[in-house]
């Protein structure tokens, strides 16, 4: 019986003999798509099972107050799983994947394959107001990275397979293979060239077939377009675009405010208790906030307002349209708060579906207000397009928003209002919020992948690999004779870093400055290094980005610049080595 390593070795030998690199990438993209689809199916099944047991049975058959208790139980379970079993940080799926692509050459830790599979269903199933798309992407991306590493693929292919896994997760989750490809291109800034398009197509199809195998033809959003676009409604759609833009800014601002507030609470258990109680209160008062919220979306799309709000426990006259509008506005407002609190308290989930829930409620409210004031618009169409507007604004992904809603609902006849609302919402949000929730932290650190190849190459380069340390260090009180004997005579470089007794960098001595006096023995015991020292033209700090380093070389016109870490001298970076590394990385990225 061959061991695992021997079997893999045989596969690799066979592959090198009989399959070209491109064909093998196609095979791996199908495999990654299948695995991402399988991971997403497991994620959805586990979550739906927990929700069915807790919300569908216990809450409705035992007592309504369990809406308050279950979120706290779920967060406690997730807390102890992370602390005792996983013992590592899970992070937000899409953000951590983007970081792995930009700064880790696509290397993703293997524990992330199962981390979200365990914790996300518990978070959402127990009432955490979050989605599953982020955890699905996290699981799929970890699988894609692991497959690439297993078969010794280069970093370019590894990143492509992560994109395939992301496409597969999206395709499997929503049964929207075309939108899934656009999502990978738009969020992960993949190049839509033929070399990458075919693997993405294969992964998307592989994943959606896997999803159909587990869920047959059941869709998360089971609505088909009924009402056609009416040009007379264009003005109302412009207003909806502005409304969803405002809501997108609100969503993002609330996310940052609540996240920063919880960061100030040092102990995780204190964050858990406070967050769990807050979520419990919100669910107790507004039960439609429970879990992902697909039931609310589907009921609103089908015009079943009573079904969407049926879990409200207190006696309310839902035949009064203004009462319905009030409760849908409350859902719109508090969905963002409940979702962010879920994350901040230690839960694991995604923001994708909460934007759909919030957008559907806002779109439906807009249509109801228009109709109540004497207008006549399609509530289902406004519900759909409200989802598009929120997704375009919050995620900064207008193309994904347009094609996803059109594909999962058959709403291609609504392309004009879909594009109009998505464009207005995206432009409005972009004016106030320069980066999405996914990318804001990476953008602030200069680590965000974009479609700008030059910036991507600079970002993927690592300063630590550029530092040269074969420089002879001298001290300010060292005599010229000692410096010539211990440093100049033994060095191949023409720069000598000067450091003090605490190893702090204080300047440089150039060989050009030594030449006029280096053979004058009378000066050997009278001139010190401090006399010859000059300040460095620029200093590179260890946490500078390579793009910042490039800018410092440009401004200083120097060929070598010192690197400082915690005020201590580390080494030098030379312009020639930097440009050589840039050229090699550019070839690798664009090959």
Read off the pLDDT band of 31 (50, 70, 90): very high
The percent of residues in the chain predicted with pLDDT above 90, rounded, is 21
Contacts of 334 (CB under 8 A, 6+ apart): 282, 286, 289
Read off the pLDDT band of 34 (50, 70, 90): very high
Domains of the chain as residue ranges with CATH: 4-215 (1.10.3080.10), 231-455 (1.10.3080.10), 456-590 (3.10.580.10)
Mean pLDDT (whole number) for 324-335: 92
532 within 8 A of 513, measured Cβ to Cβ: yes
| Residue in 404, 311, 322 with CA at minimum distance from that of residue 355 | 404
Mean pLDDT (whole number) for 551-580: 84
Burial class from Cβ neighbours inside 10 Å (0-12, 13-18, 19+) for residue 87 reads exposed
Helix axes of 133-150 and 352-372: crossing angle, nearest 10 degrees: 150
Mean pLDDT estimate for the chain: 83
Mean pLDDT (whole number) for 56-65: 61
Per-residue model confidence (pLDDT) at position 526:
81
Give the CA angle between residues 361, 367, 372 to the nearest 5°. 120
Per-residue model confidence (pLDDT) at position 507:
86
- Tens of pLDDT, residue by residue over 151-209, are 888 878 888 888 899 999 999 888 888 889 888 888 776 655 556 788 999 999 999 89
Q: Distance between CA atoms of 405 and 360, rounded to whole angstroms?
A: 11
Per-residue model confidence (pLDDT) at position 442:
62
Per-residue model confidence (pLDDT) at position 423:
95
Mean pLDDT (whole number) for 265-280: 89
Per-residue model confidence (pLDDT) at position 450:
55
Give the best-scoring range by mean pLDDT among 82-86, 180-184, 383-387. Answer: 383-387
- Tens of pLDDT, residue by residue over 441-492, are 666 665 556 555 566 666 667 777 888 888 888 888 888 888 888 888 888 8
Read off the pLDDT band of 1 (50, 70, 90): very low
- Tens of pLDDT, residue by residue over 274-313, are 998 898 888 888 888 888 888 888 888 888 888 878 777 7
Per-residue model confidence (pLDDT) at position 458:
66
The residues facing 563 across adjacent strands are: 540, 571
Burial class from Cβ neighbours inside 10 Å (0-12, 13-18, 19+) for residue 519 reads exposed
Q: Comparing 69 with 333, which gets the higher pLDDT?
A: 333
| Residue in 195, 77, 91 with CA at minimum distance from that of residue 128 | 77
Q: Distance between CA atoms of 39 and 211, rounded to whole angstroms?
A: 10
Per-residue model confidence (pLDDT) at position 504:
86
Mean pLDDT (whole number) for 505-516: 85
């Amino acid at each position: 019986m061959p061991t695992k390593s021997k079997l893999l070795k045989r596969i690799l030998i066979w592959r090198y003999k009989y399959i070209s690199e491109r064909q093998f990438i196609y095979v791996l993209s199908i495999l990654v798509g299948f695995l991402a689809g399988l991971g997403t199916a497991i994620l959805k099944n586990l979550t739906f099972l927990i929700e069915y047991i807790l919300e569908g049975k216990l809450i409705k058959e035992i007592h309504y107050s369990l809406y308050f208790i279950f979120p706290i139980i779920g967060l406690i379970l997730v807390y102890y799983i992370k602390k005792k079993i996983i013992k590592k940080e899970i992070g937000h799926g899409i953000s951590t994947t983007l970081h792995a692509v930009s700064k880790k050459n696509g290397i993703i830790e293997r524990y992330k394959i199962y981390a979200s599979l365990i914790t996300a269903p518990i978070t959402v199933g127990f009432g955490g107001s979050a989605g599953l798309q982020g955890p699905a992407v996290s699981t799929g991306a970890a699988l894609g990275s692991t497959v690439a590493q297993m078969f010794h693929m280069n970093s370019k292919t590894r990143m492509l397979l992560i994109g395939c896994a992301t496409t597969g997760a999206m395709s499997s989750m929503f049964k929207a293979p075309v939108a899934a490809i656009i999502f990978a291109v738009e969020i992960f800034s993949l190049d839509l060239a033929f070399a990458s398009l075919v693997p993405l197509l294969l992964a998307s199809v592989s994943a959606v077939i896997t999803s159909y195998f587990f869920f047959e033809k059941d869709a998360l959003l089971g609505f088909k377009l009924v009402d056609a676009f009416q040009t007379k409604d264009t003005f109302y759609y412009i207003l909806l675009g502005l409304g969803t833009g405002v809501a997108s800014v609100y969503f993002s601002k609330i996310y940052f405010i609540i996240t920063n507030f919880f960061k100030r609470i040092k102990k995780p258990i204190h964050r858990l208790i406070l967050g769990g109680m807050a979520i419990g209160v919100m669910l107790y008062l507004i039960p439609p906030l429970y879990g992902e919220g697909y039931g609310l979306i589907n009921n609103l799309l089908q015009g079943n307002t009573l079904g969407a709000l049926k879990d409200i426990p207190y006696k309310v006259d839902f035949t009064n349209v203004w009462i319905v509008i009030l409760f849908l506005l409350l859902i719109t407002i508090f969905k963002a708060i409940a979702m962010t609190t879920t994350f901040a308290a230690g839960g694991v989930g995604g923001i994708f579906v909460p934007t759909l829930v919030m957008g559907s409620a806002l779109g439906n409210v807009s249509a109801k207000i228009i109709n109540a004031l004497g207008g006549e618009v399609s509530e289902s169409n406004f519900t759909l397009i409200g989802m598009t507007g929120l997704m375009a604004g919050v995620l900064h992904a207008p193309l994904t928003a347009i094609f996803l809603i059109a594909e999962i609902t058959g709403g291609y006849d609504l392309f004009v209002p879909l594009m109009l609302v998505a464009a207005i919402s995206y432009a409005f949000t972009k004016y106030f919020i320069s980066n999405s929730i996914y990318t804001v932290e990476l953008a602030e650190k200069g680590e965000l992948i974009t479609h700008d190849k030059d910036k991507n190459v600079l970002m993927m380069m690592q300063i630590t690999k550029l530092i040269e340390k074969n420089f002879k260090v001298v001290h300010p009180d060292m005599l010229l004779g000692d410096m010539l004997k211990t440093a100049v005579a033994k060095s191949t470089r023409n720069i000598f870093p000067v450091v003090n007794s605490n190893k702090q960098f204080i300047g440089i001595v150039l060989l050009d400055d030594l030449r006029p006096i280096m053979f004058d023995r009378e000066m050997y015991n009278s001139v010190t290094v401090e006399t010859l020292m000059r300040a460095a033209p620029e200093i590179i700090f260890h946490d500078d980005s390579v793009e910042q380093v490039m800018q410092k070389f440009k401004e200083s016109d120097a060929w070598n610049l010192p690197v400082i870490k915690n005020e201590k001298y580390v080494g030098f970076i030379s312009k020639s080595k930097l440009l050589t590394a840039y050229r090699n990385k550019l070839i690798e990225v664009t090959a």
